[in-house]
Structures are given as structure tokens and as C-alpha cells.
């Protein structure tokens, strides 16, 4: 009877331990990185430089949170998933709305030439 109790306690302990170990959000990381890279490619460092810089900082913060959680016994990647989701949403909005609107504004602005008028 004592050995059965010990086995049950061991099984329950392992069950709780496994429940506390969350998996790394690998798919979310890949999706977010692809969205950030697409926004960077779309901007080509001409448009939205500050926004791109903010995306990179936020993405790095999410990766740091993941790294910090991976060192813990009881991992909780909830905050990292939220950060990744926010960065992905921001990157898609930047790519689909902000950068095209800034391109249109750049097209509307008259170009100034550095050359002197020729006769």
C-alpha cells in the first residue's frame, strides 16, 4: 500500500510539473519575424525608419522574455506571446498602411533639384 501511495504521489508530481512547463512559441516567433522582415523589406529604409526601429526593439524584448522564461522551471510564455502578437500586428499595419501612405506623400511632394537652371 505504501509503494502504491508513493507511485501515485510521483505521478501527480510529474503531472503538475509537466503542466507548469509551457512550450516555446516557435511558430509565433517565426510568424512575427517574417512580418517584421516583410515590413523592413517594404520600407527599404526610406520610409518609417523610426517605426522599423521600434519594431526591432519590441521584437528583441519579446525574444528576451522568451529567453528569460526558458531558464525557469515553471515557464509561462503568455507575456511573450502577447508581445509577439503586438509586434506582428504592428509590422503588418506598418507594411500595409503606413509605408504605402508615406510613399504616396513622397510622390505628391514636388522634387527639388540641386542643379542650377540651364539656359
What DSSP line would sit under 28-94, residue for residue? Answer: HHHHHHHHHHHHHHHHTTTS-HHHHHHHHHHHHHHHHHHHHHHTSSS---HHHHHHHHHHHHHHHHI
Q: Which pLDDT value is given to residue 60? A: 97
Average pLDDT on 32-48 reads 85
- Note whether 79 and 65 are within 8 A (CB): yes
Is the entire prediction scored with pTM above 0.75? no
| Residue 44 clears pLDDT 70, i.e. is over it | no
φ, ψ (nearest 5 deg) of residue 37: -65, -35
Residue 29: how many other CB atoms lie within 10 Å? 18
Amino acid at each position: 500500500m505504501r509503494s502504491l501511495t508513493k507511485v501515485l504521489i510521483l505521478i501527480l508530481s510529474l503531472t503538475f510539473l509537466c503542466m507548469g512547463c509551457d512550450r516555446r512559441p516557435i511558430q509565433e516567433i517565426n510568424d512575427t519575424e517574417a512580418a517584421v522582415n516583410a515590413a523592413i523589406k517594404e520600407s527599404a529604409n526610406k520610409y518609417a525608419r523610426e517605426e522599423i526601429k521600434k519594431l526591432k526593439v519590441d521584437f528583441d524584448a519579446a525574444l528576451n522574455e522568451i529567453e528569460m522564461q526558458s531558464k525557469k522551471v515553471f515557464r509561462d510564455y503568455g507575456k511573450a506571446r502577447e508581445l509577439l502578437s503586438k509586434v506582428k500586428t504592428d509590422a503588418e499595419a506598418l507594411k500595409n498602411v503606413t509605408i504605402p501612405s508615406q510613399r504616396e506623400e513622397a510622390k505628391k511632394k514636388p522634387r527639388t533639384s540641386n542643379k542650377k537652371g540651364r539656359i
